[in-house]
Structure 1
Amino acid sequence: MRIIDLSSPVDSGSFEPDPVVHEVMSPREGALHMRDEMREHFGIEFDPDVLPDGEFLSLDRLSLTTHTGTHVDAPSHYGSRTTYGTGVPRHIDAMPLEWFLAPGVVLDVRGREAGTVDAADLRKELDRIGYALAPSDIVILHTGAAAWSGTSRYFTDFVGLDASAIAFLLDAGIRVVGTDAFSLDAPFGTIIAEYRRTGDPAVLWPAHVAGRHREYCQIERLSGLENLPAPYGFQVSCFPVKIAGAGAGWARAVALVDD
């Protein structure tokens, strides 16, 4: 089995609308930190200089949102109420793990201007690759946006789903939809321009708003889709980090390909 990385990194050196702060405690600083923590919490005195090179374990402190890097959005990300089930959306720590290890299919929507694709576009691509959706599938959009990851363009130049496209996937029983772009919806500027043109609130983040009425998860900010040998015939593993009460969780998404 071959493992293909489909994840983008959490990188404090890259452009992010919500900046990432990454503080590194060196092994020497880690040894001194351990000495101080043992003294404060356990009343134990310890000389770190007896350790090899006077060093112990490094430590990383990060300040970032759960939507940095490759991540899975939970139903609670889309709003505080739902029109399905109990009316209360589930957080990321409550989602079934079975959702996040499943057959994957990639729909190629590259080469388009920033904006949206609709249900007809998705049907056309499925016909082109000769694939019929199954409810357990993880459907991934290949927009090409990953090429701009780490730059401001990544957040403004990509393709998302319109209301008809997300309805088409959810009607097919799909529970997890992914993209290599910043968002499964169109860029902010595109959405606001369309709303000003039409005055129709239905154009405002339809892929996310759909999650208030149908339970599903998104995987955003994938990468490396061009390394897949085919648009289907592989498994996707994208287990989200179990953050209690969170609307999203980081994921190390990979494709599992049988050789």
Structure 2
Amino acid sequence: MRVIDLSSAIDAGAWEVDGIKHEVLTPAEGARHMAEGMLRNHGIAFDIADLPDGELLSLDTLTLTTHTGTHVDAPSHYGSMAAYGVPRHVHELPLEWFIGPGVVLDLTDGGVGTIGAERLRRAFADIGHTPSAGEIVLLHTGADRLAGTPEYFTHFAGLDGEATNLLLDLGVRLIGTDAFGLDAPFPHMLSEFQHTGDHSVLWPAHFAGRQREYCQIERLANLGALPAPTGFTVQAFPVKIVGAGAGWTRAVALLD
């Protein structure tokens, strides 16, 4: 089996809207930390010189949002109320949603702004395949080439409401994108709203999740490495964080 990594890294050295704090306790510091803790909490003295090289184990502490790096948005992220009942958190979702046949759509001509339903239909025609229930649809916009830069958060294309609902009408429950978000960039949506006064242009892909239960995988990467638009399995199990609206995932494509 061939495995293709579709995940972007969580990197404290890269530019992020919300920032990342990554603190590292080295193996040597970990040894001292353990010895001090054993003496303080249990009254047991331990000489770290008895450890190989005077080292124990490293420890990483990170401060970040659940929307940093490749992650799955759960229905509770879209709002506190939904037409179908109380939206579920990420730890409550069926694992079966996060493994299944993949379909990648080439939307690299999308530029900056919105991708409509007609553009999706052309993408279906290009590959001779229309997604169906149980399939995981991945949108290859090419936005991941800007990852780690401020432009990554503003220069991409996202789905409008009609395009999102087209996929949901087909029975798709998991939609992925290599962009920062499944909606158009914030400045684009807000500019459209100020120009038109149309509330439907504001986060339509996310707000569609208030009407029908579905999930997104955001901030994917490397979708261009997939050798064909179909014929692979996507696996993107989210981390089980109780009460969270999103969870990090190591998304991969599996090919026989």
Same fold, TM-score > 0.5, yes or no: yes
- Secondary structure of the residue aligned to 2:168 is helix
Q: How many residues align?
A: 256
- Secondary structure of the residue aligned to 1:24 is strand
Per the alignment, residue 88 of structure 1 pairs with 86
- Secondary structure of the residue aligned to 1:232 is coil
Per the alignment, residue 33 of structure 2 pairs with 33
1:240 maps onto 2:250 in alignment: no
Per the alignment, residue 227 of structure 2 pairs with 229
Per the alignment, residue 3 of structure 2 pairs with 3
What is the CA-CA distance between 1:149 and the residue it aligns to? 0.3
- Secondary structure of the residue aligned to 2:231 is strand
> CA offsets, 1:125-161, max 9 Å, x none?
0011011212001101101000000000100100100
1:174 maps onto 2:172 in alignment: yes
Q: CA RMSD in A?
A: 0.9
Within 5 Å, which residues of 2 pair with 1:178-217? 178-217=176-215
Within 5 Å, which residues of 2 pair with 1:111-150? 111-150=109-148
Given residue 193 of structure 1, which amino acid in structure 2 is its aligned partner?
A: S
CA distance in 2, matches of 1:67, 1:221: 9
CA distance in 2, matches of 1:73, 1:80: 14
- Secondary structure of the residue aligned to 1:103 is strand
What is the CA-CA distance between 1:194 and the residue it aligns to? 0.5
Percentage of identical aligned residues: 61
What is the CA-CA distance between 1:38 and the residue it aligns to? 2.4
Given residue 234 of structure 1, which amino acid in structure 2 is its aligned partner?
A: F
CA distance in 2, matches of 1:226, 1:82: 35
CA distance in 1, matches of 2:140, 2:78: 23
Given residue 106 of structure 1, which amino acid in structure 2 is its aligned partner?
A: V
CA distance in 1, matches of 2:244, 2:49: 41
> CA offsets, 1:63-118, max 9 Å, x none?
0000000000000000111111xx21100000100000101101111123211111
What is the CA-CA distance between 1:62 and the residue it aligns to? 0.3
Per the alignment, residue 101 of structure 1 pairs with 99
Given residue 236 of structure 1, which amino acid in structure 2 is its aligned partner?
A: V
Per the alignment, residue 163 of structure 1 pairs with 161
CA distance in 2, matches of 1:206, 1:36: 53
CA distance in 1, matches of 2:245, 2:163: 23
CA distance in 1, matches of 2:231, 2:3: 13
CA distance in 2, matches of 1:65, 1:217: 18
CA distance in 1, matches of 2:211, 2:41: 48
> CA offsets, 1:204-253, max 9 Å, x none?
00000111111000000000111111111100000000011100000000
What is the CA-CA distance between 1:53 and the residue it aligns to? 1.0
- Secondary structure of the residue aligned to 1:11 is coil
What is the CA-CA distance between 1:47 and the residue it aligns to? 1.5
CA distance in 1, matches of 2:40, 2:105: 55
- Secondary structure of the residue aligned to 1:219 is strand
